Structure 1
């Protein structure tokens, strides 16, 4: 095991530093693991000009490629020339590439961080070509360890993709530094304010939240943060439901914390998740959640009546919303404590460090 003056050399590989949750979480881990034990490099296949946020304190390399496919020769050359002790990658297509590069670097430990429940996700994503699907499904056999964000994700890989449980480890996402409880920053609203922060795509279930909201018989305001391929469909649904006057849409923002603080409830409509960052971040600032029951860590994050509720159908969702203040009052500080005790950055970063150390033993 390489420690102290002979640190463990780890390279984190991502397609970009865009606005996605995987990019934010993995770059956060890279910047916060113990610098006395690990020498960390962040390798990005995209261009620096496309960054949605900054990274400091670690070596960052940009391959300046428009697609991961175009970066394969550079990734291959990097791994063979630098010979890192550990390579950890995230997001499916990058993981697939690194799995097959690992064949040529037997002394390097390769770690994959998965981002979704793959057996269910296929219902909401475009089908890949035969070769891509073939290579993707077989990538897991080449990794020394596979990080699952939730128990549901681990069980899916074990039961549906026949991945050995010895190669699987559950490490939830950390709460990053911006999301902390501050009573003075919370806003008191005269009517209920709801918010959802998610990419506008089928998987996220915006349409079933709209079906709930159009049946409410009291005043409210709903903020949607995000952009994506279903934007036109979602706003057509809002128009049909006569809800446009109750909605604020923000495509991209660096002030998610501010908006979460300004709202009374986070509404989660997803059909399937990996481990929803926006849900733990909402709870971290003290904003409780009402979520449809769905695989992907929802039942790990939400403690019934403490930081939110999980509902089975529209009727239950509406009932919770109608009675949220009178029957189900939340204490904002308890909402925050509920997730901080499980997902504080120090807890999650240590789990990553322990995994890295165990790989080198």
Structure 2
């Protein structure tokens, strides 16, 4: 049985971690799998067949501590690969990808597979030093791997054109488990119920939804699911605008689908994405969706990646949902009014969401992933 390892920062409830936890039960059928984590943070039930290896038990390292920790992680991971005679090493996210790519310097025979999960030209500009550091490290290290897979065509194009990545690259969209629905989509109450799921950060831009529902003249309720550094700022903003009665903050929850089923529409308000898991999960739950046409992901999910031109202040009815420009409050308000006033369109988009989500079932992901494992 071939020995493979999966290298990740931790097993928190992020998009990359959800992909890993979905993969594991399938991989253990044919491979001996070890999950190697930088930090001891595990928020999922790991299959008993999977071995777990920790590089450190420390948490919340600052930027400079992460730099100092880097050589230690290389040393520990190299020793692990050698001891366990790993044949294929897979990594998710940038720092694990760096460590994984370096392993090729020590062992030319090991197959190195790396996965980029965000749009680099945007994601790494939040810190100037990190931007210049990664601008050099990404091409220098990533090009040592055997193959890279991401979850967006736009991510691969960015890596190729702006980071000079020359190794083979493929796109494998995130997998989804489609929940069972009892009666399909039905309007829940006289209230128009809107939901968003995501971390409360600047790029997720939940403030856009809050501003868009403020001028609505029909009964509305917004549920914001998640947590993050911008939570207090959002709470204060809601209170200042006297919207407490119509906006709910749930915090982090495990039963996301139960909340999705209770709503009429999902809104993705992000300024940028890698691949929006939350959007796909809402579609799988049969929710009509409105999304910003941000880089990257929504255009691929909602319009088969066919480019569209959207006028400022207007919305576009795509093949599987509605698209608006990034940070366009007026367009979002109009789109919400349109769905409220057109219940047949709401039902039609619900059906479209559900059908589109079937293109991303786990079996499709595993079949494509096994091809790069086998070096087809």
The TM-score normalised by the length of structure 2 is 0.85
**What's the RMSD between the two structures over aligned residues?**
2.3
Partners of 1:124 and 1:202 within 8 A in 2:
no
Cα distance in structure 2, aligned partners of 1:85 and 1:275? 29
Residue number in structure 1 paired with 2:142: 140
Distance 1:106 1:203, change over 3 A: same
Kept in 2, the 8 Å contact 1:186–1:262? The answer is no
Secondary structure, counterpart of 1:210 in structure 2: helix
Post-superposition Cα deviations, 1:136-183, rounded to whole Å, max 9, x if no partner, equal 45321111111110111111111111112x52110000003xx42413
**CA shift for structure 1 position 132:** 6.1
The match for 2:9 is 15
Gap runs ≥5 in structure 1? 1-6
Is the contact made by 2:138 and 2:163 (CA closer than 8 Å) also made in structure 1? no
Q: Which residue in the other structure is 1:338 paired with?
A: 356
Alignment of 1:173-322 (within 5 A): 173-176=174-177, 179-184=178-183, 188-303=188-303, 304=317, 307-312=320-325, 313-322=328-337
Residue 109 of structure 2: which of 107, 110, 121 is its match?
107
Q: Confirm or deny that 1:51 pairs with 2:50.
A: no
Measured after TM superposition, the shift of residue 130 of structure 1 is 5.8
Give per-residue Cα distances to partners, 1:79-124, cap 9 Å, x unaligned. Answer: 1222312111111121122222331121111111111000012344
- How many residues align? The count is 346
Q: Cα deviation per residue 1:217-266 (whole Å; 9 max; x = unaligned)?
A: 22111111111111122222222332222111122111011111111111
Secondary structure class of the residue paired with 1:106: coil
Checking the alignment, whether the CA contact within 8 Å between 2:173 and 2:365 is kept in structure 1 is yes
Secondary structure of 1:218 counterpart = coil
Match of 1:357 in 2: 374
Q: Is the 8 A contact 2:289 2:353 kept in 1?
A: no
Task: Show structure 2 runs of 5+ residues with no match.
Answer: 60-65, 304-316
Provide the rounded CA distance (Å) in 2 between the counterparts of 1:346 and 1:227: 31
Q: Separation in 2 of the partners of 1:318 and 1:127?
A: 38
Aligned to 2:35: 42
Change (3 A) 1:244 1:14: same
- In the superposition, the TM-score normalised over structure 1's length comes to 0.88
Distance 1:231 1:124, change over 3 A: farther
In the alignment, the residues of structure 1 paired with residue 368 and residue 241 of structure 2 have an alpha-carbon distance, to the nearest angstrom, of 46
Structure number with higher relative contact order (C-alpha < 8 Å, ≥ 6 residues apart)? 1
